[in-house]
């Protein structure tokens, strides 16, 4: 079945405390975003890759590609005002058949096994997202009070989130809602069940200086 991936990289890197957007920061000498694209190209060299970037960042990205001799083929879509609108712009470049994943541009360490599991499950069940268990104690806030809750009832959600392409395109025809926090929530708004598959703990989202330290360590494992 045809596989496609939309890689969304619209962050401004404000939590990094610098001027360079987080997706362009170097990990082991190479921009994070390049590592992410390489991860999916390695999984399936024939996969269509659609990269979503804010228009004002595209010239800098192309400079980085020339500097690092980056030659993986991809289509480029403009980022939108929200993640929802960015994904919708990316979907406009996607073929209608097969399955398609949506992945955060700053998650370069998703494992090949997790990618395969997400795509395989979406092929048979239409919708699949990777999750990992919560290892910390969790407390629920209720005003000024709080209480411990059973962490086994909660999961942390990762990407890629993978869906039948026709299903995802229908889902993104809906009007935008602030309730849409990820692609799964958009699909679930149509009454579709989303299957959970095991993620990998190394699949961190690089958003803070501490994450960057961890990322450089993982890149050298």
pTM, two decimal places: 0.95
**CA 21 to the chain's CA centroid:** 16
The pLDDT assigned to 170 comes to 98
Q: Find the mean pLDDT for residues 6-33.
A: 81
Q: CA angle 177-178-180, nearest 5°?
A: 75
Residue 41 CA to residue 80 CA, distance in Å, equals 25
- % of the chain with per-residue pLDDT over 70: 96
pLDDT tens figures, 155-169: 999 999 999 999 999
Question: By the 8 A CB rule, do 9 and 87 touch?
Answer: no
Q: Find the mean pLDDT for residues 124-132.
A: 98
Question: By the 8 A CB rule, do 88 and 80 touch?
Answer: yes
Question: By the 8 A CB rule, do 108 and 27 touch?
Answer: yes
Q: Are strands 99-104 and 3-8 parallel, antiparallel or unpaired?
A: parallel
Is pLDDT at 153 greater than 70 in this prediction? yes
- Residue found by looking up tokens 């920061």 in the block: 25
Q: Phi, psi (5° rounding) for residue 93? A: -100, 0
The pLDDT assigned to 59 comes to 96
Is pLDDT at 63 greater than 90 in this prediction? yes
Mean pLDDT over the full length of the chain: 95
Task: For residue 114, give both structure tokens.
Answer: 């997790």
Q: Find the mean pLDDT for residues 205-216.
A: 95
Domains of the chain: 3-219 (3.90.550.10)
The pLDDT assigned to 19 comes to 75
Q: Are strands 99-104 and 161-164 parallel, antiparallel or unpaired?
A: antiparallel
The pLDDT assigned to 221 comes to 84
Q: Find the mean pLDDT for residues 201-221.
A: 95
Is pLDDT at 12 greater than 80 in this prediction? no
């Amino acid at each position: 079945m045809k596989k496609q991936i939309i890689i969304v990289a619209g962050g401004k890197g404000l939590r990094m405390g610098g001027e360079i957007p987080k997706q362009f920061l170097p990990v082991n000498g190479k921009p994070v975003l390049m590592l992410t694209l390489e991860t999916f190209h390695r999984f399936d060299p024939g996969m269509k890759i659609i990269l979503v970037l804010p228009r004002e960042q595209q010239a800098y990205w192309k400079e980085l590609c020339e500097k690092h001799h980056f030659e993986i083929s991809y289509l480029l879509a403009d980022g939108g005002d929200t993640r929802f609108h960015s994904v919708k712009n990316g979907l406009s470049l996607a073929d209608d058949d097969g399955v398609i994943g949506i992945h955060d541009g700053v998650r370069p360490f998703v494992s090949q096994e997790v990618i395969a599991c997400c795509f395989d499950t979406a092929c048979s069940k239409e919708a699949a997202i990777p999750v990992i268990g919560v290892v910390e104690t969790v407390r629920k806030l209720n005003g000024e009070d709080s209480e411990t809750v059973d962490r086994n009832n909660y999961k942390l959600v990762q990407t890629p989130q993978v869906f039948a392409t026709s299903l995802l395109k229908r889902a993104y025809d809906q009007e935008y809602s602030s309730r849409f926090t990820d692609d799964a929530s958009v699909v679930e708004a149509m009454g579709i069940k989303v299957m959970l598959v095991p993620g990998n703990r190394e699949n961190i989202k690089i958003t803070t200086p501490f994450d960057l330290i961890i990322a450089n360590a993982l890149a050298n494992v």
